[in-house]
């Protein structure tokens, strides 16, 4: 009987110690904070902190998404590539690292003909750099690209109407998005041509840099979309 009492005491001590350890340290490691940069209310299922290694899945609410605005999401300096849910909005997924992070949302009005460079104003290298241009069905600009050295960077294009099951009608607005991926380290220039049957043709120039990790940076260069005739001086008499 004495041995059983001792064994029970040992088991109780182990259980009490286990409860204390779990309550103090948690079940799955240390938690780290997410700073939503003042936009936590814009996200569904957003928590203040997550355990390291946790699979985080939150939604940028549909009610906050405007059809004339482009959205870019960053976890610290890494750009995220969210999917889209017609009922919930942008689906943000990432694995929680073992440190505090900042989740940043950048907004840009896309209802302009001028190009929108999704890179930040400072030089930023990304796995995929994107350029977005506005157009519309029935006379809006059509865009084409010329890369001086296509061995450095590749370019793919797509139309984005803001929703999957869009109706093609006269005047329907959309964005033409060019996605640039690095092929080898180096720099080159790229020209985007805009042609419309009802608007003046224009062109936009960019300097593309690819680093050793094949990350891409885009810098807009000045262009002269309008030419001015230079008058020759009259000969002296």
pLDDT of residue 121: 52
Distance CA 105, CA 133 (A): 20
Residue of higher predicted confidence among 210 and 123 = 210
Buried b / exposed e along 88-123 (16+ C-beta atoms within 10 A): ebbebebebeeeebebbbeeeebeeeebbbbbeeee
Is 217 or 16 the better-scoring residue by pLDDT? 217
What size, in residues, is the chain?
237
pLDDT at 101: 94
- Mention every residue, 6+ apart, whose C-beta is less than 8 A from residue 8: none
| pLDDT confidence band for 94 (50 / 70 / 90) | very high
More confident: 207 or 227:
207
Confidence of residue 8 (pLDDT cuts 50, 70, 90): low
CA atoms within 13 A on the CB side of 226: 2
In the chain, what are the domains? 29-109 (no CATH), 111-225 (2.60.40)
| Mean pLDDT in residue range 121-131 | 81
Q: What is the pLDDT of residue 22?
A: 47
Q: How far apart are CA 187 and CA 152, in angstroms?
A: 7
Total-model pTM = 0.44
């Amino acid at each position: 009987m004495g041995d059983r009492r001792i064994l029970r005491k040992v088991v109780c001590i182990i259980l009490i110690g286990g409860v204390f350890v779990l309550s103090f340290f948690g079940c799955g490691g240390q938690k780290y904070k997410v700073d939503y940069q003042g936009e936590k209310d814009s996200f569904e299922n957003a928590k203040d902190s997550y355990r390291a290694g946790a699979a985080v899945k939150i939604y940028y609410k549909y009610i906050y998404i405007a059809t004339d605005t482009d959205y870019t999401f960053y976890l610290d300096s890494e750009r995220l590539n969210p999917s889209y849910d017609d009922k919930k909005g942008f689906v943000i997924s990432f694995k929680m690292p073992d440190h505090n992070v900042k989740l940043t949302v950048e907004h840009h009005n896309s209802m302009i003909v001028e190009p929108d460079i999704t890179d930040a104003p400072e030089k930023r290298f990304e796995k995929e750099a994107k350029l977005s241009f506005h157009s519309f069905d029935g006379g809006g600009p059509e865009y084409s690209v010329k890369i001086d050295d296509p061995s450095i960077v590749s370019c793919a294009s797509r139309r984005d109407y803001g929703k999957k099951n869009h109706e093609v009608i006269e005047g329907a607005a959309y964005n033409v998005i060019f996605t640039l991926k690095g092929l080898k380290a180096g720099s080159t220039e790229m020209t985007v041509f805009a042609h419309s049957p009802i608007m003046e043709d224009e062109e936009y120039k960019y300097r593309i840099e690819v680093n050793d990790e094949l990350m891409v940076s885009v810098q807009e260069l000045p262009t002269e979309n309008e030419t001015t005739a230079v008058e020759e001086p009259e000969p002296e008499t």
